[in-house]
Amino acid sequence: MGKFLACVVSVLLAVAVVVVSSSEQAAASSSVPVRRYDSIFSFGDSYADAGNGPVVFRRYSISNPVTRPPYGSTFFGRATGRNCDGRLAIDFVAESLGLPLVPPFLAQNGSFPGGANFAVAGATALDAGFFHHGEPPGASKFPLNDSLGVQLQWFESLKPSLCRTTQDCNVFFGRSLFFVGAFGVNDYLLYYLNGKSVQQVRSLVPDVVATIAMAVERLIKHGATSLVVPGVLPVGCAPPVILASADPAAGDPAGYDPRTVCVKAINELASHHNTLLQEAVHGVRAKHPGVKIVYADFFGPVMAMVESPAKFGFEGDVLTLCCGGPGRFNYNRTVFCGDPGAITCKNPSARLFWDGVHLTEAAYRHIAGGWLSSINSPVRL
């Protein structure tokens, strides 16, 4: 009987050891994050450009201030071609997903197994020819030939080096995250700042949104199964737009929000764009139920920072640029960030706007946090 009990106890102890060991292994394995994506491909404008802009600008013999200090000073310690003091939202997303920063396609020679960034500062959704049609000789070079359609062509030229067969591409791009935008700000500002009325600018919105939706469809045909489509930010709060509309200090009734000083008509235009874009995203989702398409809110987070700056660690004069020339909001049309005579704030992390319509690294960190929540959440149709 004693031997029998000893055997039973031994078996029970052995089972217990196995159970505990298995539990510990399971706990250990569950603590190791499983990487969902192997690469990121990004299309966009200056809110996502990681270094393509200077390359494109050089082709047109246009100087670009982002190649000099104090750009990049907060994180990189040098100018990287980003329109920022440090990292952009796309950079924070990549870091959070355990991926390296997405390299700029035009500024890096070699292969791109971890993805590529095709975004260019000043890029439009609509083709550049639309804006240049009927222009007189000597007109502005902007927009340059780097629209969403051109960026898609760059992606398609890269594709054969990434995968060969349809099956290989489906596997490769099925493990990739695609960012399509934000697009639209340059389309609208080019029209608006060239003397078009807000109503004329508003007429572009359906075409801009349709172009973005078609790009999403095109990427899905290439094998994309996870896409992020950001809306536009409240560009009516950007100091250059406020001052181009009129002088808010003069009490112009043209429509300044009395609480924020933002141009109401421009922000309403941005909201209209975002509403149509969300409807378009919903429509593409319905056609491709196996594809995850996330609408990323750009407007809401920036508006929250403008309305409650202290909540995000920003100073009270939230519209004042960190880097710019002498003038209202530290904005000067002839003295840009990095120019002789320009002013740079001591603490960029306490500012929302960096150099005009562009944001600081601190702002992008908050925005990326919201985007990551959407990326990591189930799609709600």
Catalytic site residues?
A: 46, 355, 358
**Amino acid of residue 258:** P
Extract the tokens encoding 72. 């990049």
Question: Do β-strands 176-180 and 39-43 pair in parallel, antiparallel, or remain unpaired?
Answer: parallel
Kindly give the residue spans of alpha helices, DSSP state H, lying in the chain.
Answer: 2-31, 52-59, 89-96, 128-132, 148-162, 166-174, 185-192, 198-202, 205-221, 239-245, 264-287, 299-307, 361-375
Q: Judge if the upstream peptide bond of residue 100 is cis by omega within 30 degrees of 0.
A: no
- Cα–Cα distances (Å) from 318 to 9, 244, 308, 359, 369, in that order, read 71, 18, 9, 11, 20
Find the distance separating the first CA and the last CA of the chain, reported in whole Å: 66
Q: Label the pairing between strands 323-324 and 343-344.
A: antiparallel
Is-contact 64 83, C-beta < 8 A? no
Q: How far is CA 373 from the centre of its chain?
A: 15
**Residue 253's CB: how many other CB atoms inside 10 A?**
7
Sign of CA dihedral 48, 210, 152, 40: positive
C-alpha 181/C-alpha 298 separation (Å) is 10
Question: What is the C-alpha separation between 82 and 61, in angstroms, rounded?
Answer: 19
CA atoms of 227 and 291, how far apart (whole Å): 8
**What span, in angstroms and rounded, lies between the C-alpha atoms of 186 and 312?**
27
Q: How far apart are CA 353 and CA 80, in angstroms?
A: 18
